[in-house]
Amino acid sequence: MSTSTGQQDLFEPETDKMTDAKAAKAAKDKADKNGRAAETAESMAKRQREISVSEFFTKNRHLLGFDSPRKALLTAVKEAVDNSLDACEEARIQPDIVVTIARIGQSEKQFTMTVEDNGPGIVKAQVPNVFGRLLYGSKFHRLRQSRGQQGIGISAAGMYGQLTTGAPVRVRTKPGKKSVPLAFEIKIDTARNRPEFKDTVIEWDKDHGTEVAIDMEGEYRRGQKSVEEFLKLMAVANPHVKLTFKDPDGNVTEYNRGTNELPKEVEEIKPHPHGVELGILLKMMAESENRTVSAFLQQDFSRVGPGVAKEICDKAGIKPETNPSRLDAAAVQKLKAAIDATKIMAPPLSCIAPIGEDLILAGLKKEVEADFYVATSRRPVVYRGHPFAIEVGIAYGKPGDTLHMTDAGKIVEVATKKPENQEVLMGNADEPIRLIRFANRVPLVFQQSACAITKAVIATNWKNYGLQQPRGSLPIGPMVVFVHIASVWVPFTSESKEAIASYDEILEELRLGLMEAGRKLGTHVRKGKKLANEFKKRNYIETYIPHLVVALKDILKLDEKEAVKARENLTVVLEKSRKL
Amino acid sequence: MSTSTGQQDLFEPETDKMTDAKAAKAAKDKADKNGRAAETAESMAKRQREISVSEFFTKNRHLLGFDSPRKALLTAVKEAVDNSLDACEEARIQPDIVVTIARIGQSEKQFTMTVEDNGPGIVKAQVPNVFGRLLYGSKFHRLRQSRGQQGIGISAAGMYGQLTTGAPVRVRTKPGKKSVPLAFEIKIDTARNRPEFKDTVIEWDKDHGTEVAIDMEGEYRRGQKSVEEFLKLMAVANPHVKLTFKDPDGNVTEYNRGTNELPKEVEEIKPHPHGVELGILLKMMAESENRTVSAFLQQDFSRVGPGVAKEICDKAGIKPETNPSRLDAAAVQKLKAAIDATKIMAPPLSCIAPIGEDLILAGLKKEVEADFYVATSRRPVVYRGHPFAIEVGIAYGKPGDTLHMTDAGKIVEVATKKPENQEVLMGNADEPIRLIRFANRVPLVFQQSACAITKAVIATNWKNYGLQQPRGSLPIGPMVVFVHIASVWVPFTSESKEAIASYDEILEELRLGLMEAGRKLGTHVRKGKKLANEFKKRNYIETYIPHLVVALKDILKLDEKEAVKARENLTVVLEKSRKL
């Protein structure tokens, strides 16, 4: 740099150094006017260097969900719970998770977040990498549904803890009954994105499992967007999980299992040819162990048999037995065009595990008291070669606000009772509905307005289903709408995984799912309105019949028995005339 | 994995292999019921591996702004232009940039994007890294304002080109008159995040400069969110730049300089002690070359002199001559607390270069025809130790829609003319205002609703300034609002740098800047309304005075000369009475 501001200028900007500074500035101005380069290619080159991914995310920690102390606590819990559930399900273990948030000393600003699971544990060599290195993991390269997918989350939580308290991440893990339990203290060297750690053999009275504890700056609050609410929503979408939450004040909340069945085991798939982009195809061909294009197509993709492989090669004008490494870029372009022009069976759907209508209903009923429930689980489809499925659930109407017809056909007003969890999940009749969003069974708590799910709910015409809806807004009413996307790769709008990107295929499926559930809701809402009208009318009848009967009794000189009979008959006739 | 689905199952799902598959499934179900681990810590460990940052962003390319072909073209132009302008300004060269978008063959789906500058060039050894490696650059570690800051952008554009067309990035560069011009072809090995390249000596009739050309899938359109619009906005915030745009149909648009002065040269600063977090402080101390805490505080931070250093050490109960490496974590915590409790001068502001009120007005006047212009450039302040400044400009009122007072005090209706660029930048009187957002002089085109700037504009009460404003929305009116944030580190909501994260300090400065400009606007809008009323009244007077004069002439038997005089006097009296 041509500017020669020394250290002193910064420290003592108003000293007698100003004369020098002025002279330097004059010289610089002159240099500028002469068009002389203040910096040159050479001077710039000296500063060029690699940026470690940890440094990048330390400076950009809001991208990872660590932008405020309050959010940080929730994000850390989310990442740890995600990992525990993924590990338990892969190992086919019914998850039993304990989340604890405790103050450090008397501090209201520093907390220890601890998540303990009964999962399969982690082998010694991998522990430091899993917790002390960003972009490291087993889920990124694999095409199958899981909560984690980036290899960033839990290390990022640890990095945030280290940044704000200087403390290392503490991990205890035991991979099986006969394994030796180990405790680790792990720090991230952010300049290299590598762990620094020490480990010790410990006693741990547990068959298998992992516990991670992170000290961090945080802010603990209840209510909306709290750890508590996140865990409640987690329980809605994961009825197979037992969750225990211990808050900083010593309160313990338990979410018990609604089912003993684990989600269907998901299988890894190969990429589908229709999703592949040219650059990826070139890379796959370069890396393939197969020696003919035909074998390459069949072995490295899903849904390509010998017939389809031959069809593709024919269309591309390439001999099936050509060695893939001998095709030039132009030939691969032709191959790509041929793939796109060939009909190929949709990818196998064994790679994803939607929740299913029954369990969505069970989850909603467990956590939301409502008058009416409906769920829709759509058949999986594909975006960019990635299978995904959309599921929608609706819980409508606060008990007490609505009318019921008894089995005997009698309409009654149900006594208002205060459902235990209602204040958290369902709003009032004159408030916007409550939208709860999930991706691969994980609740999405932040960035609602940036999410494709929200956009799809707003774009749906809820007036068709009997609800009010201000233009460009969520509908109004006592309703919880549950939306879940299950996919081998969920496209999030940022690394913090808070909102879904608006891919056209995803928006379209959301639209269809919401309409499907909406139609069923509409029938109920209209029936409810009809019932309410009936109720009013019937009250009217019941009010006036006695007066009618008194008059009739008078006019026709009826005795008491005849009057009772007349009253019964009148009621029957009037009700019939209303065609109930 | 215990699931034994072979390749065949995926290819021929409806063959006689089903019996085997069923048997395997039955065995697996049984395994599940027995609680046996389908996966173990060992089997999972085998799949754990590093994820390269290039692979990560290939799969997540929407994070980089490459989610649709249309957006991809604009994002690539933005990244290339950002780099060119940064390089020119650092080298104190008046930028002259040529952007070309050309179809590849007759394709409507594939384009070559070329950006050529007259910058300082790039030295041979750095070219492959700059264009073929993500998270590599000179701007990330430096505290001074620049357009680029992440070391991702241009390599990401190249990676997208490679992904969609298979073609390498082509670069020509010449670092100076006497340098040998070179041409490069560069590909990214995404698995390693490293460049593969070849270079050749070429002829290039140019003193110095760089040209980058990328073949990519794209979609070319005009209008909102187009390359054209981006360049127009670029010209608004960068009046010192000459921009030439050649579109795919051969049209050439030129944006000429509005000033010959380069932006103020920015200087790199050291971190300010008040912004530093504990983890960073620990790291800085570990890496410091200074042997005493006092020297460390003075040399490694800005605004700490001997006095302040002593005050901090005293408060922390640490001797100033202690070696930093000998402090334990608890002592460093105390040091941090002492720093926070000490008054320290705000960081030097030489690191940022706001545009300034005059040039904002010049830029707006150059590209938006309006009736009234106002600009506010706020004094820089600090968030998390990072200096930043907010600037607001307003262009209000379409010529032709409003009234003017001439120098002689006469109110006239201006004839409606069609300003050249108006259709792009300013809406009609009954439409929401047009908000144009900038960060470090770069227009932000996408994700308007997610941006702190938009939130601040919506939160401002524009009714105070005479505009209509629906609740929770942008105000209504013929108005362009220009907002600029200049900072050493702009916190974007994603790597694509499309929206600003909502830090409290930034929201507050935005609020103050908008209010400041809004008040000046309010005076004008109210004056405009008053003028409109005056105009109506005056028309009234001018309509009736002749009749009055005729009547007076009649009653008082005035001659022609006296009648003219009476008319003049009457007009003066009436205008006076209205206190014009």
Write out the DSSP string of B526-548: HHHHHHHHHHHHHHHHHHHHHHH
Nearest alpha-carbon partner for B491 in B454, B451, B460: B451
CB contact under 8 A, B60 and A163: no
- Given a cut of 60, is residue B406 above it in pLDDT? no
Average pLDDT value over all residues in chain B: 85
- Given a cut of 80, is residue B29 above it in pLDDT? no
Mean pLDDT, rounded, for B542-563: 80
Banded model confidence at residue B237, pLDDT cuts 50, 70, 90:
very high
pLDDT of residue B485: 97
Report the 3 state secondary structure along B67-127.
CCHHHHHHHHHHHHHHHHHHHHHHCCCCCEEEEEEEECCCCCCEEEEEEECCCCCCCHHHH
Q: Give CA–CA dist B171/B559, Å, rounded.
A: 88
Q: Which of A513-517, B164-168, B206-210, B382-386 has the lowest mean pLDDT?
A: B382-386
Q: Which of A57-61, B439-443, B574-578 has the lowest mean pLDDT?
A: B574-578
Which helix (H) or strand (E) is A300 found in, with range? Answer: helix A293-300
Q: How far is A176 from chain B (nearest CA, A)?
A: 8
Chain A with chain B: Cβ pairs closer than 8 A: 265
pLDDT of residue A528: 76
Contacts of B179 in chain A (CB under 8 A): 41
CB contact under 8 A, A47 and B142: yes
pLDDT of residue A200: 97
- Given a cut of 90, is residue B377 above it in pLDDT? yes
Q: Assess contact for B156 and B64: CB atoms under 8 A.
A: yes
Q: Which of A175-184, A381-390, B146-155, B550-559 has the lowest mean pLDDT?
A: B550-559
Q: Give CA–CA dist A445/A436, Å, rounded.
A: 8
Helix and strand numbers, DSSP H then E, in chain B: 17, 18
Q: Give CA–CA dist A510/A485, Å, rounded.
A: 9
Nearest alpha-carbon partner for A230 in A424, A22, A501: A424
Q: How far is B348 from chain A (nearest CA, A)?
A: 7
Structure tokens at B141: 């570690």
Q: How far is B332 from chain A (nearest CA, A)?
A: 9
Q: Give CA–CA dist B68/A335, Å, rounded.
A: 23
Pick among A92, A165, A304, A340 to test the B interface (most B CBs inside 10 A): A92
Between the CA of residue B231 and those of B89, B364, B441, B487, what are the distances in Å? 18, 14, 12, 21
CB contact under 8 A, A150 and B303: no
Query: Has this prediction a pTM greater than 0.95?
Result: no
Given the structure tokens 């002389």, which residue do they identify? A36
B19 three-class SS: helix
Q: Give CA–CA dist A19/A14, Å, rounded.
A: 10
Contacts of A296 in chain B (CB under 8 A): none
Q: How far is B65 from chain A (nearest CA, A)?
A: 10
* AA identity, residue A120: P
Q: Give CA–CA dist A412/B303, Å, rounded.
A: 74
Banded model confidence at residue B408, pLDDT cuts 50, 70, 90:
low
The residues, any chain, with a CB within 8 Å of residue A295's CB and separated by 6 or more, are: none
CB contact under 8 A, B265 and A51: no
Banded model confidence at residue B399, pLDDT cuts 50, 70, 90:
low
pLDDT of residue B579: 53
B387 three-class SS: strand
Q: How far is A479 from chain B (nearest CA, A)?
A: 23
Contacts of A162 in chain B (CB under 8 A): 279
CB contact under 8 A, B3 and A120: no
Per-block mean pLDDT, blocks of 10 residues, chain A (580 long): 32 34 44 55 86 89 90 96 96 97 92 97 95 91 89 94 94 94 96 94 95 97 91 92 96 91 92 88 90 96 95 96 90 93 90 93 88 94 89 85 51 46 65 94 92 95 93 90 96 93 93 96 84 70 76 82 82 66
Scanning B193-328, the segments in alpha helix (DSSP H) are: 227-237, 278-287, 293-300, 306-316
Q: How far is A391 from chain B (nearest CA, A)?
A: 23
pLDDT of residue B37: 43
Nearest alpha-carbon partner for B356 in B393, B325, B326: B393
Torsion sign over Cα A554, A556, A558, A563? negative
DSSP label at residue B476: B
Q: Select from A93, A190, A279 the Cβ nearest to the Cβ of B37.
A: A93
CB contact under 8 A, B51 and A140: yes
Scanning B260-405, the segments in alpha helix (DSSP H) are: 278-287, 293-300, 306-316, 329-340, 357-367
B564 vs A104, more confident: A104
Mean pLDDT, rounded, for B33-53: 76
pLDDT of residue A559: 85
pLDDT of residue A4: 35
- Given a cut of 60, is residue B580 above it in pLDDT? no
CB contact under 8 A, B175 and A141: no
Between the CA of residue A16 and those of A8, A13, A353, B309, what are the distances in Å? 11, 9, 73, 21
CB contact under 8 A, A166 and B93: no
CB contact under 8 A, A304 and B141: no
Q: How far is B53 from chain A (nearest CA, A)?
A: 7
**Nearest residue in chain A measured CA to CA from B42:** A123
CB contact under 8 A, B39 and A120: yes
B563 vs B456, more confident: B456
- Given a cut of 60, is residue B162 above it in pLDDT? yes
Q: How far is B521 from chain A (nearest CA, A)?
A: 29
Banded model confidence at residue B304, pLDDT cuts 50, 70, 90:
very high
CB contact under 8 A, B493 and A494: yes
DSSP label at residue B317: T
Contacts of B49 in chain A (CB under 8 A): 136-138, 141
Q: Give CA–CA dist B24/B2, Å, rounded.
A: 9
pLDDT of residue B428: 77
CB contact under 8 A, A42 and B175: yes
Q: Assess contact for A76 and A160: CB atoms under 8 A.
A: yes
Q: What's the alpha-carbon Rg for chain A, to the nearest Å?
A: 32
Q: Select from B11, B121, B122 the Cβ nearest to the Cβ of A305.
A: B11
Q: Assess contact for B483 and B392: CB atoms under 8 A.
A: yes
CB contact under 8 A, B150 and A305: no
Burial of A116 (0-12, 13-18, 19+ CB in 10 A): buried
**Nearest residue in chain A measured CA to CA from B349:** A10
Q: Assess contact for B113 and B77: CB atoms under 8 A.
A: yes
CB contact under 8 A, A92 and B39: yes
Banded model confidence at residue B17, pLDDT cuts 50, 70, 90:
very low
Q: Assess contact for A171 and A127: CB atoms under 8 A.
A: yes
Contacts of B272 in chain A (CB under 8 A): none
Q: How far is A214 from chain B (nearest CA, A)?
A: 14
Q: Assess contact for B547 and B567: CB atoms under 8 A.
A: no
- Given a cut of 50, is residue B501 above it in pLDDT? yes
Calculate the CA dihedral of residues A234, A235, A240, A244 and round it to 10 degrees: 100
Contacts of A298 in chain B (CB under 8 A): 7, 11
Nearest alpha-carbon partner for A479 in A419, A424, A420, A426: A426
Q: How far is B184 from chain A (nearest CA, A)?
A: 16
Pick among A5, A7, A25, A50 to test the B interface (most B CBs inside 10 A): A50
Q: Give CA–CA dist A182/A174, Å, rounded.
A: 7
Q: How far apart are the first and last CA of chain B?
A: 89
pLDDT of residue B233: 93
Q: Assess contact for B110 and A278: CB atoms under 8 A.
A: no
ipTM of this model?
A: 0.80
Nearest alpha-carbon partner for A134 in A110, A158, A152: A152
Q: Select from A38, A60, A262 the Cβ nearest to the Cβ of B91.
A: A38
Helix and strand numbers, DSSP H then E, in chain A: 17, 18
pLDDT of residue A85: 96
Scanning A136-256, the segments in alpha helix (DSSP H) are: 153-165, 227-237
* AA identity, residue A377: S
Pick among A46, A149, A265, A490 to test the B interface (most B CBs inside 10 A): A265
Q: Select from A5, A44, A138 the Cβ nearest to the Cβ of B48.
A: A138
The residues, any chain, with a CB within 8 Å of residue A59's CB and separated by 6 or more, are: B140, B489
pLDDT of residue A306: 95
Q: Assess contact for A318 and A327: CB atoms under 8 A.
A: yes
The residues, any chain, with a CB within 8 Å of residue B504's CB and separated by 6 or more, are: B383
CB contact under 8 A, A299 and B165: no
Residue A486: what are its φ and ψ, rounded to 5°?
Answer: -115, 125
Cα B281 to the center of its chain, rounded Å: 30
What angle do the packed helices A452-459 and A504-556 form, to 10 degrees? 40
Nearest alpha-carbon partner for B263 in B560, B484, B2: B484
Contacts of A12 in chain B (CB under 8 A): 305
CB contact under 8 A, B491 and A62: yes
Q: Give CA–CA dist B142/A59, Å, rounded.
A: 12
